[in-house]
């Protein structure tokens, strides 16, 4: 069984463990759940704006790309 199939088969356990981790980490925080999602999205947005718009950098094409 490949690793991706094993993760997919145990997705409910992974979901419950993730929820438990978030609940214990942000127990008394009002913005904890939102911050755990907004922080990576903010980083992605900043990288997109700086590299994509400001510096006009494009990802290199691979050998097998069409």
Measure the CA–CA gap between 63 and 14, rounded to whole angstroms: 36
Q: What is the model's pLDDT at position 65?
A: 63
Q: What is the model's pLDDT at position 44?
A: 93
Q: What is the model's pLDDT at position 10?
A: 92
Is 0.75 topped by the overall pTM? Answer: no
Show the DSSP H helices in the chain as ranges.
3-9, 11-25, 32-47
Residues (pLDDT < 70) of the chain are 65-66
Angle between helices 32-47 and 11-25 (to 10 degrees): 100
Q: Around 57, how many Cα atoms within 13 Å sit in the side-chain half-sphere?
A: 8
Q: What is the model's pLDDT at position 23?
A: 85
Q: Around 20, how many Cα atoms within 13 Å sit in the side-chain half-sphere?
A: 6
Task: For the chain, give every domain's residue range.
Answer: 3-54
3-state DSSP call for residue 53? Answer: helix
Q: What is the model's pLDDT at position 21?
A: 87
């Amino acid at each position: 069984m490949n690793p991706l199939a094993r993760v997919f088969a145990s997705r409910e356990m992974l979901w419950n463990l993730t929820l438990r981790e978030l609940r214990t980490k942000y127990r008394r925080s009002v913005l904890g759940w939102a911050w755990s999602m907004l922080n990576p999205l903010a980083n992605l947005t900043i990288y997109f704006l700086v590299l994509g718009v400001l510096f006009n950098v494009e990802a290199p094409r691979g050998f097998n790309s069409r």
